Amino acid sequence: MAELPIYHDSYRPSSNWAKRLEAARQAHPAAAVLAAQPRWLPKWIAGLEAYAVPPFDTASDATTPAALERAARWLLARATAKPGDQRDALTMDDLETACRELVGEQGDTVQVWRTAAGRPQVENHQPAAPAALPVLLEMTLDWFTTDAFSELHPVEQAGLFHLRLLDLQPFAARTNTLVRLLSSFYVLRAGFPPIIPIAEEQSAYRDVVGYAFQMITQPGVELFARWLLAAYSLIETEQEERR
């Protein structure tokens, strides 16, 4: 793949899902999303766990609900520290912290970054050599702070982050789980709930990853949007039960 994420005008959001998400955000602002955290946080953790298995991850990358919750809570706090700030961006330190939160270990002995060959995600995918990762990651994270990136819909931002980090395979372990988790940074930052993977849609997820590596990104964006709308349904249920 190219050294920087690729975006094309033909991948801009369809009015349908974009309008539905905006209506949901207007009806349930960021404060309501956070208030409903007891409802959606367990679903988020369960969704991440459902995808932390082959073929999405290797058997050795299996993690625990407690570790997922720890990492999810860290990301939630990080993403909502500067609500609405499109210039707030993930850094190398953030990626390292997320990895340590998920692994549950601290200190210099933890291997965060990949030093061996990466795991191909689709046929003909060749992840970057480990020696190239620091430069490619810095370039990628820098691109995520540009005007061009900030003009995208938050779901598109999440989709591009998801694709690029799957491509790079930067972490020594649990890369794909971390990528699915960290992709929610962009929607949480904008006041949306997290992108909660739906266990029953694993086949659709596999398909959109395959499309994305062909730079056909719209199916993945629409899948993420559908998962966000499902998260809003959880929030609506929470609000109804409070009445």
Kindly report the average pLDDT of the chain as a whole number.
88
Q: Specify the number of domains making up the chain.
A: 1
Q: Which domain holds residue 225?
A: 15-242
Rg over alpha carbons for the chain, rounded to the nearest Å, is 17
Query: Residue 103's domain is classified under what CATH number?
Result: 1.10.3290.10
pLDDT at 167: 96
Report residue 163: phi and psi, to 5°. -65, -50
In a domain, 4, yes or no: no
For residues 226 and 159, the answer to whether their CB atoms sit within 8 Å is no
- pTM beyond 0.85: the answer is yes
- Report if residue 3 sits inside a domain: no
Are 114 and 172 a contacting pair, CB within 8 Å? yes
Q: What's residue 87's pLDDT? A: 75
Per-residue pLDDT at 243:
67
Is 9 within the bounds of a domain? no
Q: Nearest-CA neighbor of 202 among 51, 100, 29?
A: 51
What integer pLDDT is reported at residue 10 of this predicted model?
A: 43
Give the pLDDT score at 76. 97
Residue-level pLDDT at 86: 72
Does residue 161 belong to any structural domain of this protein? yes
pLDDT-flagged residues of the chain (< 70): 1-15, 54-62, 84, 105-109, 243
pLDDT at 14: 54
Is 181 among the domain residues?
yes
Q: Residue 44 falls within a domain, yes or no?
A: yes
Distance, CA of 13 to CA of 229 (rounded, Å): 15
Tell me how far apart the alpha carbons of residues 157 and 221 are, in angstroms, rounded to a whole number.
9
State residue 106's pLDDT score.
Answer: 54
Residue 10 lies in a domain: no
- Residue whose C-alpha is closest to residue 99's, from 47, 36, 7, 165: 165
Residue 7 lies in a domain: no
